[in-house]
Structure 1
Amino acid sequence: MRAPRPRAILAVLGVLLLTACGTAGATDGAERATEERVVRVAAAADLKFALEEVADLVAEEHPDVRLDLTYGSSGTFVQQITNGAPFDLYLSADRGYAEQLVDAGLAAPEDLFSYAVGRLVLWTPDGSALDPAPGLTVLAPEDAGTVAIANPEHAPYGRAAVAALRAAGLEEQVRPRLVLGENVAQAAEFVRSGNAQAGVVALSLVLADPLRGHGRWVEVPVDSYPRLDQGGVVLSGAADLGAARAVREVLLGAGGTEVLERYGFSLPGS
């Protein structure tokens, strides 16, 4: 029996390689078809816990979409996005900031939307001698200690807190004792950790699991500060506009609004 010729061996190897390449190509194509569609979200800090639940709803309705969530100050995000930060969806604690991005040509007018109305509370930590029940007036005495708020320079909740203190006639008395957080979540953390004796922070945060049941709080009258109309926008430079818009629809849908209401947000138009 003669040994196989070299040319015959090469021909067989060529067929095997083509078959292998075809199989690999089909596998790669299947993997690409099931790749995650990542939506990079710049979100106001008051959404920190509510948005985690909305992300679960997104996963249920759109299994191929995943949220990459970054929380911070709404004003700081505007600066970052204007300077080219790679976000797809922006959720602000002040709709005005989202409108600025539309005016700057970074988002289309039809991609602007309102999603919630935020609310302020006066919160004191466990063990504090301060009873918040009477409202902001308990902060008047100097021995009431330090008061945490978000930085009003770029955080809507900080501006609202200053306005509420001014409406109560307490701005000048309390200002020297203010401790400023980079955002409202950090201001709440100052209170939780004992680095501030009280805080004027977001209702959504004190209703969330890490803070729920700790300390005492009372809602600040909504007519004492500018209405916290919260709005967002899908950015024109989004890597996947369809996926970013799908996330927006989940947030504005029945499931998303139920989550927002559970965390103390009012709905637009209310």
Structure 2
Amino acid sequence: MKRRDIFVVLITTVWSAWASAGEVAMAVASNFVAPMQKIAAAFTQSTGHKVVISSGATGKFYTQIKSGAPFEVLLAADDETPARLEAEGLVVSGSRFTYALGRLVLWSPQPGKFAEGTEMLKQGRFRRLSIANPKLAPYGRAAVETLSHLGLTQAVQAKLVQGENIAQAFQFVVSGNAELGLVAQSQVVDASGHATGSIWRVPAEMHQPIRQDAVLLIKGKDNPAAMALLAYLRSEPAKAVIRSYGYEL
């Protein structure tokens, strides 16, 4: 086959793929928005499929999905919510998998504020500590478990401010409404792994693992773009992005 003919075949193949490109509506836990935006951009460049991302608290997404929200893919901040949706028949059977293991950190935008978080929390030399709502956000539950592990539940109760999700909890610290926050590591490190301010990575034994699961929802069962996105999420390029934000796999 001549070089010109090969070129025509390649162009025709690419055009056909893009002509059939679709769109997928995706619900993403707040802590995973930054890496997902990078993954989605690469996915779109590779396949032509467009990804419409909605971010929020996993608990709130559960309620919305139960009420018929048009999401086709869910990336939760826990493994319990996807399992519950699967048991209730709202997930395509066999589609659930763990895409990341989250890390909780104590963070302040102020450099040199602390080197070791345990003592900082125990000394209580701060006015406000921001966490996500533990009833809606898995990172909020992990924060509460951490404080309980340290025996500080009662001591810091009056100093807690709660965001509806981990994104709002993070914003409370950024805006100065709280000096410290128990937030997701992915929110305070960039893609090169560099963190600004003061950061303490909460030891894994202080809370239950933050196992984050992805599922194909029933509304996406006939959407090739939704299935392709979940497949891409398990690819090496996507895994590299996930690791770069401090998640484990």
User: TM-score if structure 2 supplies the norm length?
Assistant: 0.88
Is structure 2 residue 117 aligned with structure 1 residue 109? no
Matches within 5 A, 1:3-14: none
SS in 2 for 1:123: strand
Partner of 1:12: none
- Residue by residue over 1:233-259, the C-alpha shift from the partner in whole angstroms, topping out at 9 and shown as x without a partner, is 101112743211110111111011110
Amino acid at match of 2:19: T
In structure 1, C-alpha distance between the alignment counterparts of 2:148 and 2:101, rounded to whole Å: 21
Amino acid at match of 2:41: D
SS in 2 for 1:84: coil
Partner of 1:18: none
In structure 1, C-alpha distance between the alignment counterparts of 2:99 and 2:223, rounded to whole Å: 19
User: C-alpha root-mean-square deviation of aligned residues, in Å?
Assistant: 2.0
In structure 1, C-alpha distance between the alignment counterparts of 2:157 and 2:207, rounded to whole Å: 17
Partner of 1:82: 66
Is structure 2 residue 27 aligned with structure 1 residue 39? no
In structure 2, C-alpha distance between the alignment counterparts of 1:172 and 1:134, rounded to whole Å: 21
* Structure 2 alignment gaps of length 5 or more: 1-14
The answer on whether the counterparts of 2:108 and 2:181 sit within 8 Å (CA) in structure 1 is: yes
Partner of 1:4: none
The answer on whether the counterparts of 2:113 and 2:198 sit within 8 Å (CA) in structure 1 is: no
Is structure 2 residue 214 aligned with structure 1 residue 243? no
Q: 1:120 aligns with which of 68, 79, 104?
A: 104
Partner of 1:56: 41
Partner of 2:215: 233
In structure 2, C-alpha distance between the alignment counterparts of 1:108 and 1:117, rounded to whole Å: 22
* Structure 1 alignment gaps of length 5 or more: 1-29
SS in 1 for 2:141: helix
Structure 1 runs, 4 residues or longer, greater than 4 Å off: none
Using a 3 Å threshold, how does the CA distance of structure 1 residues 228 and 213 change in structure 2: closer, same or farther? closer
Amino acid at match of 1:96: E
Q: What is the Cα deviation at residue 212 of structure 1?
A: 5.7
The answer on whether the counterparts of 2:189 and 2:196 sit within 8 Å (CA) in structure 1 is: no
The answer on whether the counterparts of 1:57 and 1:250 sit within 8 Å (CA) in structure 2 is: no
- Residue by residue over 1:189-246, the C-alpha shift from the partner in whole angstroms, topping out at 9 and shown as x without a partner, is 111111101000001111137x965321010001100000110110111274321111
In structure 2, C-alpha distance between the alignment counterparts of 1:69 and 1:218, rounded to whole Å: 30
Alignment size in residue pairs: 233
Matches within 5 A, 1:17-36: 34=19, 36=21
SS in 2 for 1:259: helix
Matches within 5 A, 1:1-270: 34=19, 36-63=21-48, 65-126=49-110, 130-131=113-114, 133-208=115-190, 213-238=195-220, 240-267=222-249
